[in-house]
Chain A
Amino acid sequence: EAQVTQNPRYLITVTGKKLTVTCSQNMNHEYMSWYRQDPGLGLRQIYYSMNVEVTDKGDVPEGYKVSRKEKRNFPLILESPSPNQTSLYFCASSFGPYAQETQYFGPGTRLLVL
C-alpha cells in the first residue's frame, strides 16, 4: 500500500532531551516535507527536500534539523526540544521535486514537551 509512515505517533518528552521523528514513504517520491500544525495557525512548513541531500528551510525551521540521505526517509530531529515545540507534526511527500503536485500526508506525530 502506498503510504507515508511516521514514528512515533505520540511522544512525551522533557525539555532538552534530543529526539527524532522518523518519516518514510514507499512511493519513490522526490519531494518530502515536514509541517507543524497548531490551533489557529494552520500548517506551517518546517523543512523540505526536493531530492536526496537537498534540504531547505521552510517558514519555521528554528530548533529543528533534517537530513535526506535516502530518497524514502526524511527524519526530523529536535536536538534540544522546548515546550514551544509541543505540536502536531506531519510529514508529507509528492512525486515531483517542485511542490506542484499532490502531497500525501502521514498520520501525524503528537509531541508534548514538558
Chain B
Amino acid sequence: GENVEQHPSTLSVQEGDSAVIKCTYSDSASNYFPWYKQELGKGPQLIIDIRSNVGEKKDQRIAVTLNKTAKHFSLHITETQPEDSAVYFCAASIPGNQFYFGTGTSLTVIP
C-alpha cells in the first residue's frame, strides 16, 4: 500500500518568517494530496489540497507544490502568525481507496 513520509516532525519559526513542510509518497496511483491542520483538542481541518494534474496551488498565505516525478509535495506558509501554531498533516489518496496520512508536523510560531 501507499507510504507517506512527512518531515520535519517539529518546526519552530519566528513570527513573520516562512514555514515549509515536506511529504513524500510511494504509490504513483495516488492523485489527491490534501493538507490538514489540527488544533489542540480538535479534529483535523482541511486547509488546502492539490490534485495530480496541478503543480502548484495558492490560497492567500498558504501554498502547496507537487512534484509527481519525484513523488513529493510540500506545504508553504508565508508570513507566519501565532495562530498558525498547530499540528499539520499531509495525506495521499488513490481514487476509491484508502486515505494515507503522514505522521504530522508540530509547528510553533514564536511571537
Contact = CB atoms under 8 A, between A and B. Distances in A.
A58 B91 CA distance: 14
Contact of B99 (A33, A41, A106): A33
B60 interface: no
Interface residues of A, number: 26
Contact of B89 (A42, A92, A98, A108): A42
Nearest to B9: A40
A40 B44 contact: no
A44 B89 CA distance: 12
Interface string B21-44: 000000000011010000001111
Interface in B71-111: 89, 91, 93, 95-104
A102 interface: yes
B43 A106 contact: yes
B54 interface: no
A99 B95 contact: yes
A108 B41 CA distance: 8
Nearest to A43: B101
A51 to B, nearest CB: 11
Contacts of A92: 43
Contact of B98 (A42, A58, A102): A58
Contact of A42 (B1, B43, B93, B102): B102
Interface of B: 1, 6, 9, 31-32, 34, 41-46, 49, 51, 89, 91, 93, 95-104
Interface of A: 4, 33, 35, 40-45, 48, 50, 56, 58-59, 90, 92, 97-100, 102-103, 105-108
